Structure 1
Amino acid sequence: MRQVQDQASKLRHAAATTTNGFRTIAITSGKGGVGKTSLAVNLGLLMAGNGQRVALLDGDMGLANVDVLLGMTPKFTLRHVVEGQKELTEIMLRGPNGLYVIPASRGVEAMAHLPVAGRARLLGRLEQLEGLIDILLIDTAAGISPNVLSLILAADEAIVVTVPEPTAITDAYAIIKVLSRHRADLRAGILMNMVEGVSQAEEVFDQLRRIIRHFLKLEVRFTGHVLRDECVGRAVCEQKPFSVCFPYARASRSLHELAKSLAAPSQFAPHPEPFWGRMIHLAAQL
């Protein structure tokens, strides 16, 4: 325990003397099966294609999928970083459009439930991204484990992905409820996926926003929507991003608009403390 405290103290000191040089956006969901990882991958590719320096961190530490959707076979993963075998920059891969990919492990239970020491070691390595990227996208695991919550809460902003189905909407509300208990100034947006049109997306979002406003006294914004498209499933089966395979498909066009929107300066004021510094504080609390 003393060793963990000493390590955390050193990392807090480093964070306090460093500026926050990149924007962090956590992409999450209350439940699986809503297309979160596919959206994170394709959004990262489109943003990188627009000239931004973007890294995509696979935050599902024990059941990684980002590399699968990109058809990659990483030799080293975040597990090697946690175990001290590799530096973060040594495991990073370059994907299409110059997107940096930070792969996680798959089928490793210990990574899904990292202890404080493991999280502190990993989070400290994120400082290596300083000056290398403009935006860090984090594809979290679904749910509310300590790993997931710490990533979302430390990010500059969060995008909660949901679909127009009762169970998915209920779970989206649930994760925002949990997050709001830890961070009163939660910066969250709702992304409606697999909708038939903008009217359905706005209608479902408005219902969810009213519930959140009434029960949680919290404001969430409408991040955008992605249309239902059979091309998405075909691309997943081929282990290729749908925005690359089918650039003119309905879903790809929807995501293009979202990528442009997120590329604009954030409506939120920059956080005074670096991302990894916030993560260090959270690691010991959750």
Structure 2
Amino acid sequence: MQDQASKLRRTATATAKRLRTIAITSGKGGVGKTSVAVNLGLLMAGDGHRVALLDGDMGLANVDVLLGLTPKFTLRHVVEGQKDLSEIMLQGPNGLYVIPGSRGVEAMAQLSSAEQAQLLNRLGQLEGMFDILLIDTAAGISPNVLSLILAADEAIVVTVPEPTSITDAYAVIKILSRHRADHRTGILMNMVEGVSQAEEVFKELQRVIRHFLNVEVGFVGHVLRDECVGRAVCEQKPFSICFPYARASRSLQELARSLAEPSQYAPQSEAFWGRMVHWSSVL
């Protein structure tokens, strides 16, 4: 893995483009957030982009499970100073790099300021190595989760067409807007029966957000409900790899291509890691 990371760093020396960071989050669990993050990363990497996926769930990480990977070392070892970032990164299908989080380690979900600083210092090595960093956050609105989302260039809130999920998505956007009214947030409707259902539910959510929060959110896209997704999860394989022509894979491919296009937003002057330090101290 160190040799692979060294090659990435050498390739990056001629690249001045700032790392683009996209947080993928949700108000509640069970909406397919991690599955979306994993398969989105695979599809973008498969199209030739240099993509890394950070498992930002510091206590209940499961990106590696969906990919069928078995990490020997995780972010816990980086925080404790036992390993360098290059020593824990895994390479998955399509050339997607994965930065595994810790599973079942309570302390990782409640990092101290010193530990956060240590982690951010190491993660800063990714600047220049990749084009895009996808961050699969934990569900909910804990300070650690919010600092990841607020520091990212863009955020995608994954929800499903169910009242509880929609309510929780609204709660996430409400809290984000309280801290940053200009935050670049989009909604992804997952597990929908069709385009019309996705657009209908989004428009109602958008109406409520405009009325009560006076902020704008975009419609990122939708992923169709597909039994192939559940089958792939049980096999610990990404559905976009197992079933590339399935309904869910085709709809997510459209999103991957649109996200990979140059962002309409001007890059922020400060690197993601510096913004993380700021928000970690504020929240």
Q: Does 1:69 align with 2:66?
A: yes
Q: Which of the residues 48, 55, 59 maps onto 2:56?
A: 59
SS at the partner of 1:284?
A: helix
Q: Which of the residues 209, 215, 219 maps onto 1:212?
A: 209
Query: For residue 8 of structure 1, what is the aligned residue in structure 2?
Result: none
Return the offset for 1:20: 6.6
| Structure 2 letter corresponding to 1:263 | A
Q: Does 1:85 align with 2:100?
A: no
1:165-219 superposed Cα distances (whole Å, 9 cap, x missing partner): 0000000000110111111211000000000000000000000001111111100
Mapped contact 1:20–1:275 kept (Cα < 8 A)? no
Query: For residue 262 of structure 1, what is the aligned residue in structure 2?
Result: 259
Mapped contact 2:150–2:176 kept (Cα < 8 A)? yes
Return 5+ residue gaps in structure 2 as ranges.
Answer: 1-15
Q: Percent identity?
A: 82
Q: Which of the residues 189, 192, 197 maps onto 2:194?
A: 197
Q: Which of the residues 233, 236, 240 maps onto 1:236?
A: 233
Query: For residue 185 of structure 1, what is the aligned residue in structure 2?
Result: 182
Query: For residue 167 of structure 1, what is the aligned residue in structure 2?
Result: 164
What is the CA–CA distance in structure 2 between the aligned matches of 1:167 and 1:116, rounded to whole Å? 33
Q: Which of the residues 77, 96, 101 maps onto 1:99?
A: 96
Query: For residue 109 of structure 2, what is the aligned residue in structure 1?
Result: 112
Return the offset for 1:88: 1.3
Q: Does 1:280 align with 2:274?
A: no
Aligned pair count?
268
Moved >4 Å (runs of 4+): none
RMSD, matched Cα: 0.9
| Structure 2 letter corresponding to 1:167 | T
| Structure 2 letter corresponding to 1:219 | E
1:135-168 superposed Cα distances (whole Å, 9 cap, x missing partner): 0000000001111000000000000000000000
Mapped contact 2:33–2:136 kept (Cα < 8 A)? yes
| Structure 1 letter corresponding to 2:234 | C
What is the CA–CA distance in structure 1 between the aligned matches of 2:241 and 2:127, rounded to whole Å? 28
| Structure 2 letter corresponding to 1:223 | V
What is the CA–CA distance in structure 2 between the aligned matches of 1:59 and 1:183, rounded to whole Å? 21
Q: What are the equivalent positions in structure 2 for 1:2-13 lying under 5 Å apart?
A: none
What is the CA–CA distance in structure 2 between the aligned matches of 1:118 and 1:149, rounded to whole Å? 17
The farther-off stretch of 143-152 and 115-124 is 115-124
What is the CA–CA distance in structure 2 between the aligned matches of 1:172 and 1:150, rounded to whole Å? 17
Return the offset for 1:107: 0.3
Return the offset for 1:283: 1.4
What is the CA–CA distance in structure 2 between the aligned matches of 1:241 and 1:259, rounded to whole Å? 15
Mapped contact 1:69–1:240 kept (Cα < 8 A)? yes
SS at the partner of 2:282?
A: coil
What is the CA–CA distance in structure 1 between the aligned matches of 2:60 and 2:108, rounded to whole Å? 9
Return 5+ residue gaps in structure 1 as ranges.
Answer: 1-18
Q: Which of the residues 127, 131, 135 maps onto 1:130?
A: 127
What is the CA–CA distance in structure 2 between the aligned matches of 1:211 and 1:89, rounded to whole Å? 44
What is the CA–CA distance in structure 2 between the aligned matches of 1:150 and 1:120, rounded to whole Å? 13
SS at the partner of 1:39?
A: helix
What is the CA–CA distance in structure 2 between the aligned matches of 1:264 and 1:114, rounded to whole Å? 35
What is the CA–CA distance in structure 1 between the aligned matches of 2:128 and 2:147, rounded to whole Å? 23
Normalising by the residue count of structure 1, what TM-score does the alignment of the two structures yield?
0.92
Q: Does 1:43 align with 2:40?
A: yes
Mapped contact 1:21–1:131 kept (Cα < 8 A)? yes
| Structure 2 letter corresponding to 1:103 | P
What is the CA–CA distance in structure 2 between the aligned matches of 1:88 and 1:144, rounded to whole Å? 26
